[in-house]
Amino acid sequence: MDDLEKLLAETDIAYRRDCTLAELTTFKVGGAADVVFYPESVEQCAALIRLAGQAGKKLVFLGNGSNVIGSDRGCRDWIVLSTRLTELSLGENGRICAGAGVKTVKVSSFAAQNSLSGLEFAQGIPGTVGGAVFMNAGAYGGSMDQITVKTHYLDETGRLCVLEGKEHQFGYRESFFSRNPGCMILSTELLLTPGNAEEIHGRMEDFRKRRKEKQPLEYPSAGSTFKRPQGDFAGRLIEEAGLKGYRIGDAQVSEKHAGFIINRGCATGDEIMQLIRVVQERVKERFGVDLECEVRYLGEK
């Protein structure tokens, strides 16, 4: 029994030591993860934060891994998956409470089933509620800042805290949590608007069709690779720079939508990062625009 297993012997937190970042991310790239934890309660999450402090380890919190590029060299930090924090309940006056590990698609469908509008944009976003709050996910004119009213989380010491309203500090693809990645989101309360179920389902179906028609959903990716530059679109700039379809190994600028970098099958994290840099350099040279990466890099440099 090594030092880690001795430390964990006092807990009942589920974990794995035979996992890769490729298994944990929608890009399907990345080397071995030293350890991945699956806490199932607030108490386990708090205990894990304290254990990491004792072991001198950094924690990395993940949901569905849909906005992450995994390092080919793996990750020595402790990875914590929120996928077992799956509370989902209907409150009063249009409120829904969702655990950090609930998939956004599931919450969107749950809202529609209860004739609540405001989450239609999330139908098709391949992440979790925690990840959506972390990055203020959005699409088709909707975003998490418009509907998020309260979030329960643990700070870096394991203390239970609450954010309400403007305390979330939402910005474009950012929040209090993206600025404080040592905090762990537990659950979020959403405030939605009563509506007509048939109309809500109709908007969701429209968004699904538009995604299927315009996005390269048939390949592993992390969604939109770059943040939208002010007054323009990353995809347009990349296409105008002549990079649509450009590839390094199996990493490619999508031929369907230039705002997406895809894994054609056997791409590595290094190839994806190299391609991102090429795109940023070419767009800067051609248009003078600095494209900011929307996806996070996970693991060893």
Q: Is 224 labeled as catalytic in the residue annotation? A: yes
- Walking along the chain (301 residues) 10 residues at a time, the average pLDDT comes out as 67 89 98 96 94 92 95 97 96 96 96 97 92 95 97 97 98 96 97 96 94 94 95 96 98 97 98 98 97 95 88
As a whole number of angstroms, the distance between CA 144 and CA 285 comes to: 34
CA dist 136 → 29, 39, 54, 175 (Å) = 24, 24, 32, 6
Query: What's the confidence (pLDDT) of residue 165?
Result: 96
Distance of CA 118 to the CA centre of its chain: 19
Give the up-direction half-sphere exposure of residue 259: CA atoms within 13 A in the CB hemisphere.
17
pLDDT digits (tens, 9 = 90+) for 121-178: 998 888 999 999 999 999 999 999 999 999 999 999 999 999 999 999 999 999 999 9
List, in order of start, the domains of the chain with CATH numbers.
3-81 (3.30.43.10), 88-199 (3.30.465.10), 216-298 (3.90.78.10)
Query: What's the confidence (pLDDT) of residue 168?
Result: 98
Query: What's the confidence (pLDDT) of residue 2?
Result: 65
As a whole number of angstroms, the distance between CA 247 and CA 270 comes to: 13
Is there a contact between 97 and 220 (Cβ–Cβ < 8 Å)? no
Question: pTM for this one?
Answer: 0.94
120, 189, 271, 294: the catalytic one is 294
Q: How far apart are the first and last CA of the chain?
A: 29
224, 254, 271, 282: the catalytic one is 224
Query: What's the confidence (pLDDT) of residue 12?
Result: 84
Query: What's the confidence (pLDDT) of residue 18?
Result: 87
Q: Is 173 labeled as catalytic in the residue annotation? A: yes
143, 173, 187, 189: the catalytic one is 173
Angle at 211 between CA 116 and CA 106, to 5 degrees: 40
| Beta pairing class for 75-81 and 68-70 | unpaired
Query: What's the confidence (pLDDT) of residue 3?
Result: 66
Q: Is 43 labeled as catalytic in the residue annotation? A: no
